[in-house]
Structure 1
Amino acid sequence: MDPILNSFKDKKGFIIISVIFFMLGVIIGYFVFKENPQFILSNLEKLMGNIINIGKQIAGKKKLYAIGLIFQNNVKALLLMMFGGIFFGIIPLIGMIFNGFLVGIMMAIVFSQGKSLGFFLAAMLPHGILELPAIILGASFGLKTGVDLLFPKRDKNKFEILKENLKNSVLSMGILVPILYIAAVIETLITPYLANLF
């Protein structure tokens, strides 16, 4: 277990950066919708096509199928955040802003429909409390890879840096992937029940 836990060392600063960019995305998404809701609603399928498609695919299907599809989608997002860092950290940065942007839009849509903050939190928090930190952590690995490639230490070449970062990213999946699976189970079985209470 130690190598897996050790893979999370030296990520604190990158976690903070990931959170900042995510929150920036939330704020942008929320206020873009408030300023021009018609534009967002007319382009909603382009912006949230993946989420909408998953919703359509799991409608009426067995719970196990829904869990598998949501889990698969989240693992893809995690891998993109982590290994997209090889492009000098640009992909995880954009990914965090875009994910935050979507959350901000969803929050604004919920409020525009007259629904409460309680409904929004019930629809997001049960699974999001696990899913979001896992994705943020994945982004922090990607950001570290990008920064290390841009500003390599003198005693290491870029190939050694890349190899070490990718190894740590793979090791971290021993924790992050199970977390995403639990989040998918909660999103399928618990989140809809809680959201329906509001």
Structure 2
Amino acid sequence: MLRFSTFVRDLGSMGKTLMFVTALFILGIAVGWYSTGALAEIIDKQMGGIREIGESLSQSSNPKWSFFVFIFFNNSIKAVAMIFLGLLLGVLPLLFLLINGMVVGFLVHSSMEQGNSLFDLIVKGLLPHGIIEIPAIIIACAYGIQMGLLVMGSLGGKGSGEVGRRWQNMFRKAVTGSVWIVILLFVAAIIESTITYTLMRG
């Protein structure tokens, strides 16, 4: 049940949902890129909180370890939560993905406006870990949206036997997905707390 091949097969059965959430994430990036006024202030406040945490972690006795622990647990808890909070009609995974896309778009655009190197930001700051982390988050939200769709499809209460089998299969997929998403985020956290950390501070 927990084999990687099972995880890949499950992803293959979620093709349309994965395309949808990827498009939603890209939309979030575009919104964040062009955000102005109150929306920009909200995103900037979020970024300010992230910067404060980063500064605090960098002052610890072992910054790389501190970054790893924070990044891994923060991302893993949120990702698994988005899978199962999809039970609330899939609304929270949608919002989570959109907001994260907006933060990325806003970060890149504001960094460009401040005269920072776009190459350094993307190639050094985002790409090393983001090539694993971002797809893992997108996949987690796809599972959550699938949960929400199943909830909506079950509201009629017809064909209880078939509905039960669908729920059993969905929870099996969710458990398998959670395990492999956490593993992917573990790898991404190692990269972000070592390679990305060194590149951005070197």
Name 2:128's counterpart in structure 1. Answer: 126
Report the equivalent of 2:139.
137
Runs of 4+ deviating beyond 6 Å: none
Aligned length: 192
Query: Is residue 178 of structure 2 the alignment partner of residue 173 of structure 1?
Result: yes
Say yes or no: does 1:185 pair with 2:190. yes
Aligned to 1:116: 117
CA drift at 1:178: 1.3
User: Residue 27 of structure 1 corresponds to which residue in structure 2?
Assistant: 30
Pairs within 5 Å for 1:1-198: 1=3, 2-32=5-35, 35-36=36-37, 40=40, 44-45=44-45, 47-48=46-47, 51-61=50-60, 62=62, 63-121=64-122, 122-152=124-154, 154=159, 156-157=162-163, 160-196=165-201
Q: Deviation at 1:106?
A: 0.3
Question: CA RMSD of the aligned region, Å?
Answer: 2.4
Tell me if the contact between 2:43 and 2:106 (Cα under 8 Å) persists in the aligned partners. no
> Quick one: which amino acid aligns to residue 53 of structure 2?
I
Q: 1:85 to 1:120 in 2, by over 3 A?
A: same
What percent identity do the matched residue pairs reach?
A: 27
Q: Where do 5+ consecutive residues of structure 2 fail to align? A: none
TM-score normalised by structure 2 residue count: 0.84
Q: Which moved more, 1:162-171 or 1:21-30?
A: 162-171
Distance in structure 2 (CA, Å) of the matches to 1:160 and 1:87: 20
Distance 2:34 2:67 in 1: 32
Is contact 2:136–2:184 with CA below 8 Å preserved after alignment?
yes
> Is 1:54–1:69's contact at 8 Å kept on the other side of the alignment?
no
Q: Hey, what's the Cα distance between the residues in 2 that align with 1:42 and 1:5?
A: 37
Contact 2:80 2:178 in 1 (8 A): no
Q: Which amino acid aligns with 1:51?
A: I
What are structure 1's unaligned runs of at least 5 residues?
Answer: none
